[in-house]
Amino acid sequence: MSQEIIDKAKKWLSEPIDTQTKETIQKMIDNQDQTELVDSFYKDLEFGTGGLRGVMGVGSNRINKYTLGMATQGFSNYLNHSFSGNQVKVAIAYDSRNNSRFFAETVAAVFSANNIKTFLFEDLRPTPELSFAIRELGCQGGVVLTASHNPKEYNGYKAYWNDGAQLVAPHDSNVINEVNKIKGITDINFDKKESLIETIGSEIDEIYLEKIKGICLAPEAIEKQKDLNIVFSSIHGTGITLVPAILKKIGFTNVNTVKEQAEPDGDFPTVVYPNPEESEAMSIALKQATDTNADIVMATDPDSDRVGIGVKNTNGEFQLLNGNQTGALIVYYLLSKWKENNKLTGKEYIVKTIVTTELIAKIANGFNVKYYDTLTGFKFIAALIGELEGKETFIGGGEESYGYLISDFVRDKDAIASCAILAEMTAFFKNQGKSLFDILLDINSQFGQYHETLTSITKKGKSGASEIQEMMKNLRETPPLTLAGSKIIRILDYKSLEEKDLVLKVTKTINQPTSNVLQFITEDGSKVSARPSGTEPKIKFYFSVKRNLEKPQDYFDNIVTLESKISRIKADLLEI
């Protein structure tokens, strides 16, 4: 046991903390097994570029009122400095996780104590509505209390700027610096000013839902298919507050919620992980969809910024689509309808992240619409939208991790609007006698069948971090020449911001912020991205391969062939 850890715990005991926290810390110190003491105090929970995320509990390495208080004090200091002379305003939302309401009230108290006008949602609300509320209410910042789709032990704190987007440079590092200046609990002002805290709720809901209704492109199709059989699960999260409401508002009358998962519950009792990317989390919804012969099944994560869907395949069985497939369907539908409605003027654009399927780029090119790539993370998509505001028109976009955005009145991924557009798409194509899976086959036939997988390799501890660094170093210094028998023709290094064309033997600069990501592009169009996680002891490899789809009935055989190709690429990479 390090004396430094004991000293840190005893310092907390000397601070003005509540009796229960003091008693818990003392028990940790007195316990012969000091594992909990070490885990709780061996480091400070780090305020990163996205805010805080961690296990709830007592200590400097846990999510609690004091660590959140220090984060909010630092953020308050930066906001007051940045907007000196003005009444600073913030909005706060929270999800269904345990303690989220208490944490939201704690954060509101600190903001108000620092003379910041604070709008606090009356009850749990989706993250995209928080982004919307910041812009709608003219706030300079905002916070949502959520740990996204992490297990039930976690909670977190996402910080937003006045554009409704998560913090980007220079504000991200500047806020981190201010938070790091908070050296102890005595530096936090908890003296709440009730007069500066205002409750918000249904009035913001209505404005937000009207905005989403305004982006619908096929009201006549919804009217014809208003009894479309939709199964929806909120997986015990915030989606239940607005997804059924928006589907009803745009005209759907047969929306069936999964009752076992409809009640907001921070213990997430029916799932291992409350994540629609996991088939296990979708299993109850899929069974209900199968039993009721539904047209589409949708499920959102706890803070409703991600959505997963299931559709019937050509065998009549429900099949979950991955984030790349759903994103491609959304982009194809949006561009098809914008073209049909004569809305394409040459100034529109689509956005995806660098690890998201190239199929989206192919679709955009097919419609002669510009597309942009950004680094991984929706804050980079939001930053680009802000940069192009007033010059070009954002249609939509997204990332492979099940996050999508349609229109720009929200500046974060938005599962509420995505559910609306996915239901509308289903109605539109059903009106033509087709399912979303049929459309996916059409897209693959026209633009190529792309197949993507993600592999994460975990390397724990200090030695693990070194191993990950060594893997990236080796890939940079001795890159592969071929992958699965196809020559590497381009290497993109987002750390040095260099793109090497190995055919033309030229190097050009990548116009992105720096990031520790490497990409290899092969002659046959395969793409591999290597990216160490910024928050976990992992290195992630994103694999994308493609093949022509000559006949729709070849789809499943192609999947087998493409999976085999990815296995060969993995084998080649592991030899490096």
Would you list the domain boundaries of the chain? 1-37, 43-206, 222-446, 449-574
For residue range 120-133, what is the model confidence (pLDDT) as tens digits?
Answer: 999 999 999 999 99
C-alpha 197/C-alpha 106 separation (Å) is: 12
Residues 46, 74: contact at Cβ < 8 Å?
Answer: no
- pLDDT grade, residue 536 (50/70/90)? low
pLDDT of residue 461: 65
Cα–Cα distance, 191 to 109 (Å, whole number): 7
What pLDDT score does 224 carry?
Answer: 98
Q: Is the pLDDT of residue 576 over 60?
A: no
Q: Are the C-beta atoms of 543 and 558 separated by less than 8 Å?
A: no
CA proximity to 395, closest of 417, 424, 379: 417
- Of 547, 554, 351, nearest to 448 by C-alpha is 547
pLDDT range class, residue 574, cuts 50, 70, 90: confident
The pLDDT value given to residue 483: 96
The CATH fold assigned to 222-446 is: Alpha-D-Glucose-1,6-Bisphosphate; Chain A, domain 3 (3.40.120)
- Do 222-446 and 43-206 have the same topology in CATH? yes
- Of 46-55, 137-146, 381-390, minimum mean pLDDT range: 46-55
What CA–CA distance (Å, rounded) separates 434 from 422?
A: 14
d(CA 401, CA 378): 10
Q: What is the pLDDT of residue 535?
A: 59
User: Quick one: CA dihedral 221, 223, 229, 235, positive or negative?
Assistant: positive
Question: For 6, left (φ over 0), alpha (ψ -120 to 50), or beta?
Answer: alpha
Relative orientation angle of helices 19-30 and 3-14, to the nearest 10 degrees:
160
Query: Percentage of the chain with pLDDT > 90?
Result: 91
Q: What confidence tens digit (pLDDT) does each residue in 445-500 have?
A: 999 999 999 998 988 766 777 889 899 999 999 999 999 999 999 999 999 999 99
- The single residue of 148, 401, 515, 529 carrying the catalytic annotation is 148
Whether 156 contacts 150, CB under 8 Å: yes
* Token duo for residue 271: 């799932």
Q: Would you say residue 575 has pLDDT above 90?
A: no
At residue 172 the predicted structure's pLDDT band, cuts being 50, 70 and 90, is very high
Q: How does pLDDT run across 406-424, given as a tens digit for each residue?
A: 999 999 999 999 999 999 9
Strand partners, 118: 90, 197
CATH of 449-574, one of 1.10.12, 3.30.310, 3.40.50, 2.60.40: 3.30.310
Distances, alpha carbon 516 to alpha carbons 170, 399, 472, 473, 519, in Å? 19, 18, 8, 11, 10
> What is the SS3 assignment for 118?
strand
- Residue for token digits 């885990």? 39
DSSP-assigned letters across all residues of 460-478: -HHHHHHHHHHHHHHHHHS
In the structure, how many helices (H) and strands (E) does the chain have?
A: 18, 23
Tokens 């069985």, residue? 317
User: For residues 418 and 322, is the Cβ–Cβ distance under 8 A?
Assistant: no
Closest C-alpha to 383, from 185, 163, 79: 163
What mean pLDDT comes out for the span 175-190?
A: 94
Alpha carbon distance 493, 509 (integer Å): 10
CA distance 301 to 307: 7
Pairwise CA distance, residues 448 & 441, whole Å: 10
- DSSP letter for each residue of 29-96: HH-S--HHHHHHHSSPPP-BTTEEEEEBSSSTTSBSHHHHHHHHHHHHHHHHHHTTTS--EEEEEE-S
- For the four alpha carbons of 143, 146, 149 and 154, in that order, the dihedral sign comes to positive
Looking at the DSSP bridge assignments, the partners of residue 350 are 371, 396
Range 197-205 average pLDDT? 98
Q: Is the pLDDT of residue 1 over 70?
A: no
Tell me the C-alpha distance between 406 and 330, whole Å. Answer: 9
Q: Please give the pLDDT value at position 402.
A: 97
- Determine whether 148 is an active site residue: yes
Rounded to whole angstroms, the Cα distance separating 331 from 418 reads 11
- CATH, range 43-206: 3.40.120.10
Q: Convert the pLDDT of each residue in 45-87 to its tens digit.
A: 988 878 999 999 999 999 999 999 999 999 999 999 999 989 9
Work out the mean pLDDT of the chain and round it to a whole number.
95
Neighbours of 404 (CB within 10 A): 26
Closest CA to 59 of 46, 40, 84, 45: 40
Q: How many other C-beta atoms can be found within 10 angstroms of the C-beta atom of residue 274?
A: 31
Cβ-based burial of 11 (10 A; exposed 0-12, middle 13-18, buried ≥19): middle
- Closest among 275, 200, 236, 220 to 96, alpha carbons compared: 236
Query: Mean pLDDT across the stretch 287-313?
Result: 97
Residue 66: predicted pLDDT: 97
